[in-house]
Amino acid sequence: MITSPAHLSNERPSLYADRVGEWYANQTSDDHKSEHGQYLTPPAVAEFMAGLVSASSKTIRILDPGAGSGILSCALCEALAVCENKPEHIELEVYETEAGLLKQLSSVLEYLKSWLSSVGVELTYILHASDFILENAACLDQRQTTLFGDTGHSRYYDFIISNPPYFKIPKDDPRSRACLSVIHGQPNIYALFMAVSAHMLKPGGELVYITPRSFAAGPYFRLFREKFFKITRPLQLHLFGSRTDAFDRSEVLQENVILHAVRDDGWNDNPTKATVRVSFSAGIKDLAAHGFRMAPLPEVIDVKSHNRLLHIPTSDEEQRIIHLVNSWPGSLHKHGLEISTGPVVPFRATQFITNENGAGKVPLLWMQNVKSLCTTWPVPTRKQQYIISSDASASILLPNRNYVLLRRFSAKEEQRRLTAAPYLADNVSFDMVGFENHLNYIYRQSGELSKEEAYGIAALLNCRLLDTYFRSYNGNTQVSATELRLMPLPSMETVRLIGKEAAKGKLTTSEIDSWISEMLVQSGEATIEKATRCASNPSGAGATARPAK
């Protein structure tokens, strides 16, 4: 029988916790890890997170809402114990629901207590073998969080540090029902951890969380962003460029972010002078030598907007692009356009999908049919290229009109997140068309997109300006229709000018970027300096633009 590891002589508690975590992970299946959202925090990441805070009083209260093996609690206590104004007493509370880990976590905390005593710091701790959300969600009720009055909630903390579990939970889950004030759609549990934690900080208290970046945008997190950033002010955001390297022992296919924030209930009233430190590294290996920049907080999160998208620019150029795009006067809705998701869901439409041409068959387009500024149909692929047009399939087919098609997902190795192309009705001789569910399509609600408008919108979505803008707040591979509805666009006159040039013939990616910048200058929607800067470093391989077939 394999026994849990014992601590070594003079071993740092965080390294002991890491060994315990690895040992436990090796005892559990991949399905179990996925079900419980378990992703171990590497020691270098734990040390970095712990180093973001410093002691300011003799007694410090710390909360770790999803402790796991205790590595973050240990790393934070270690950092506080060696800082210039180290505390005399640390009160630590941790939560963990994994029954098989509780004994090992208790051993880690006992060792931490002994280690801290050896450096002159007293530790008392409470280990809660209970669900953090269910036990503390009542603090989300604003009536219960008035500054330490009759709140029904007596525990407030100087520091909260966490690598919470990541998985979606249904709306009827007890944890969802307990957090209705921050719920919209299907929530991810990590956002509930963040929301509850924010309300458990004392004024001036700080939290440090490592999570996916998905909370920065999207409709499911809108209420969370509104509530969370109403009472917490970001101090630092650290981005990992790699989607897999932040947790190098696990396959976490999302970009990660470390958020360091302070409880500051009044900051929304006067955000203009605040700044936030934006730091970045490719992964763990260069974490110690990470770069950073200071950004004006209102340009990272616009608290006056309804959606409060969180833009995270990692360079001055990205900041200029965000500022430029935000200055554009248009959007899909302002231009009378709409975006929807392809209605053909293959597993629900198997009886209609076919590779056979003939009477009653119309085109079916998939992501494979769409490349940058180029829609091609049919294409040699395993994806069937036709769908039966009948009364039974009418609800999932669309009139053969001009559209802009946009891939809903990007491959992690692709250089650009947005891939769009015009679909022109004149290039096929059918009355109807099918778009598979992994495509978004843009259309005019009243009337029809012109050829120049279709090409112009597609060219803009493919250009480096909007790709950079989109990546500044979108941290995963999915391209949400909701996010695209909100994305600023130039005036429709400028869109048509860009489309007229884009429709002329073959373009490389760099030529698209240059022409768009020129059109923006000519239209007065960008200064020459801004447009030149934005087009000066186009990236990506050349792409061939052809009319839709």
Segment 96-102 shows an average pLDDT of 90
The angle that helices 464-471 and 528-535 make with each other, rounded to 10 degrees, is 80
pLDDT tens digits, one per residue of 467-493: 889 988 876 667 878 888 889 999 999
The residues facing 261 across adjacent strands are 207, 234
- Report in angstroms the alpha-carbon separations of 108 from 11, 36, 48, 235, 271: 11, 21, 20, 30, 41
- pLDDT tier at 179 (50, 70, 90 boundaries)? very high
Segment 371-396 shows an average pLDDT of 95
| 359 phi-psi bin (left φ>0, alpha ψ -120 to 50, beta other) | beta
Pairing of strands 439-444, 337-341: antiparallel
pLDDT tens digits, one per residue of 27-49: 877 766 566 556 789 999 999 99
Specify the CATH number of the domain 337-535.
3.90.220.10
Helices H, strands E: what count in the chain? 17, 20
- Three-state DSSP state, 98: coil
Listed range (362-366, 386-390, 415-419) with the worst mean pLDDT: 415-419
Listed range (155-164, 261-270, 317-326) with the worst mean pLDDT: 317-326
| Percent of all residues in the chain with a pLDDT value above 90, rounded to a whole number | 57
- What is the pLDDT of the chain when averaged over all its residues? 86
Q: What whole-number distance in Å separates Cα of residue 88 and Cα of residue 235?
A: 26
Question: Taking Cα atoms as reference points, which of 362, 312, 332 lies closest to residue 442?
Answer: 332
Complete DSSP assignment for 21-63: HHHHHHHS-HHHHHHHT--PPPHHHHHHHHTT----SSEEEEE
Q: What whole-number distance in Å separates Cα of residue 439 and Cα of residue 406?
A: 6
Q: Tell me the torsion sign for CA atoms 231, 479, 499, 425.
A: negative
Residue type, 304: K
- Three-state DSSP state, 202: strand
pLDDT, position 401: 97
Question: Taking Cα atoms as reference points, which of 106, 129, 105, 125 lies closest to residue 117?
Answer: 125
Residue 545 has pLDDT above 50, yes or no: no
Residue 299 has pLDDT above 90, yes or no: no
Assigned token pair, 391? 């009364």
Indicate the DSSP class of residue 478: B
Query: Can you give the residue ranges of every domain in the chain?
Result: 337-535
Q: Give the start-end residues of each E strand in 343-438.
A: 353-354, 361-365, 370-371, 374-375, 386-388, 398-399, 403-407, 420-423, 432-435
Question: To which H or E segment does residue 122 belong?
Answer: strand 122-128
